[in-house]
């Protein structure tokens, strides 16, 4: 009986340690393999068959059904230009220049990787609204109906995802050097 309890305990502890360490390494190794560009991180191995298993697991958790780089490159920002985590209670200014892809869009997601409740009408901004020149737009907890920007509702933290479809060869080959939007914090409530 004692041996059985020891065995069950061993399995439970091993399962917990194994799963937690796997999750931590998935996040760490995926971040380590990403290319950095300002606030943005890019992993061009998404969707590829020969990708590191930790990156594949990260895709399953955070970017399920993402396209491989020949079709789209995804840039993720969880921090502002000063390196601080993006917070829902703050307002930010995003400024940038045209992105070298056929079509692109920036979307705000909550910590659960889903669109943020309260952000209706302001889930994303794209080249359709921003045009083909230099641009800037706000990120704030709430925005008026017809303004261009991203609303973060009551999210405590959020991240930005820049999707670039059919990226140009230069963006595809060297995403770390591309001129990407800069996310600057303006002020915070509390």
Partner 1 sequence: MVNLLKNIGQWVLFVGVLAVGMHFATVRFLPDFIMSRLHDKLTRQVPVNTMQYPARPDASARAVVKPSPDLIYAICAYDVSEGPVRVTSPVPDSYWSLSAFANNTDNFLAINDAQAGGDRVDLILSQPGRKPINPDMLPVIEAQTPTGVILTRTLITSEEDFPALNALRQQATCSPYVDEAP
Q: Which residues bind partner 1 (CB under 8 A)?
A: 3, 6-7, 10-11, 13-15, 17-19, 21-23, 25-26, 46-49, 51, 53-54, 56-57, 59-68, 70-71, 102-103, 105, 107, 109, 113-120, 123-124, 126, 128, 161, 163, 165-166
Nearer to partner 1, 129 or 186 (CB): 129
Shortest Cβ distance from residue 174 to partner 1 (Å)? 21
Shortest Cβ distance from residue 64 to partner 1 (Å)? 5
Backbone angles phi, psi at 187, to 5 degrees: -160, 165
Q: Which string of DSSP letters, residue by residue, matches the chain?
A: -HHHHHHHHHHHHHHHHHHHHHHHHHHHHHHHHSEEETTEEE-TTTT-TT--HHHHHHHHHH-TTPPPTTTEEEEEE-B-TTSPBPBTTEEEEEEE---SEEEEEEEEEETTSSBPTT-TT-SEEEHHHH-SS-EEEEEES---TT--SEE-TT-SBEEEEEEEEEE-HHHHH-GGGS---EEEEEEE--
Shortest Cβ distance from residue 187 to partner 1 (Å)? 25
Shortest Cβ distance from residue 180 to partner 1 (Å)? 18
Shortest Cβ distance from residue 41 to partner 1 (Å)? 14
Nearer to partner 1, 55 or 180 (CB): 55
Nearer to partner 1, 42 or 63 (CB): 63
Nearer to partner 1, 70 or 177 (CB): 70
Nearer to partner 1, 83 or 114 (CB): 114
- Interatomic CA distance for residues 85 and 156, integer angstroms: 10
110 token code pair: 């909550």
Nearer to partner 1, 25 or 81 (CB): 25
Shortest Cβ distance from residue 63 to partner 1 (Å)? 6
């Amino acid at each position: 009986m004692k041996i059985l309890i020891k065995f069950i305990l061993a399995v439970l502890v091993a399962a917990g340690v194994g799963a937690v360490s796997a999750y931590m390494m998935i996040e760490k190794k995926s971040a380590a393999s990403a290319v950095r560009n300002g606030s943005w991180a890019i992993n061009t191995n998404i969707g590829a068959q020969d990708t590191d298993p930790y990156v594949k697991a990260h895709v399953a958790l955070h970017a399920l059904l993402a396209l491989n780089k020949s079709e789209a490159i995804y840039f993720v920002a969880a921090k502002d230009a000063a390196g601080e985590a993006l917070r829902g209670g703050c307002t930010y200014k995003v400024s940038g220049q045209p992105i070298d892809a056929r079509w692109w869009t920036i979307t705000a997601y909550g910590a659960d990787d889903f669109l943020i409740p309260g952000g209706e009408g302001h889930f994303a901004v794209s080249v359709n609204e921003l045009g083909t020149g230099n641009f800037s737009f706000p990120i704030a907890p709430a925005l008026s109906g017809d303004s261009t920007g991203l609303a973060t509702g009551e999210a405590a933290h959020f991240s930005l995802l820049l999707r670039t479809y059919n990226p140009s060869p230069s963006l595809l080959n060297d995403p770390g050097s591309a001129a990407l939007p800069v996310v600057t914090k303006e002020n915070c409530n509390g």
